[in-house]
């Protein structure tokens, strides 16, 4: 995380440096992202980066935290259309809101995808923290759904959370592999919404055929 030297910078200088660094790491793999290019664009000495952060990994983790906070903040500021939405409606809305966040913050979204999918030397730490945050989030949603009578109370929220996450955790990678080559703005394709609807249908009704 940033050293006090970085935190003491004026806000506009912190923001300018962060934006430049986000762009560099979002558009290059971690090993090829260049500190030299960042400082050149920022107009600062290379040694300044190490007065701001311990090392390249420390800078990357800060940028990932910035990216996640911006996108989560966007979702939190976007209220569900139905204030009385049940668990499935809320989950479906979160899928759409996540897409909207990625469209609003494309650089942040690219960096996050690299963090979660690239073979980083510290990737396991990133995934472990992301798993902890997701598990807490979904367990709380599931417990609320059970209390409201939207979900069966017989099931352990931890087990339900495990199943839900197993289905949706790699949904972004699945969508990118399925639609990413069709258009640069593939997130806006109507087929993406259709996938979301199918995921919700599977969670809600299962995959067994229904008797006539």
pLDDT tens by residue, 112-146: 888 887 787 887 888 788 878 888 888 888 998 99
Q: How far apart are CA 7 and CA 52, in angstroms?
A: 8
Give residue 59's pLDDT: 94
In angstroms, how far is CA 121 from the centroid of its own chain?
A: 20
User: 194: helix, coil or strand?
Assistant: helix
Q: What confidence tens digit (pLDDT) does each residue in 17-70 have?
A: 999 999 999 999 999 999 999 999 999 998 999 999 999 999 999 999 999 889
């Amino acid at each position: 995380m940033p050293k006090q030297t970085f935190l003491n910078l004026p806000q506009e200088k912190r923001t300018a440096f962060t934006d430049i660094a986000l762009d560099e790491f979002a558009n290059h793999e971690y090993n090829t992202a260049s500190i030299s290019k960042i400082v050149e664009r920022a107009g600062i000495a290379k040694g300044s980066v190490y007065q701001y952060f311990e090392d390249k990994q420390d800078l990357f983790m800060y940028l990932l935290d910035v990216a996640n906070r911006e996108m989560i903040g966007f979702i939190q500021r976007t209220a569900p259309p139905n204030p009385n939405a049940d668990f499935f409606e809320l989950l479906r809305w979160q899928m759409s809101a996540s897409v909207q966040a990625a469209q609003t913050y494309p650089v942040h979204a690219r960096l996050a995808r690299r963090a979660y999918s690239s073979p980083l030397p510290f990737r396991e730490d990133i995934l472990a923290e992301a798993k902890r945050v997701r598990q807490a989030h979904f367990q709380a949603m599931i417990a609320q759904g059970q209390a409201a009578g939207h979900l069966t109370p017989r099931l352990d929220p931890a087990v339900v959370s495990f199943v839900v996450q197993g289905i949706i955790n790699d949904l972004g990678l699945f969508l990118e592999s399925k639609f990413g080559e069709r258009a640069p703005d593939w997130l806006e394709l109507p087929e993406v919404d259709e996938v979301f609807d199918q995921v919700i249908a599977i969670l809600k009704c299962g995959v067994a055929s229904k008797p006539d």
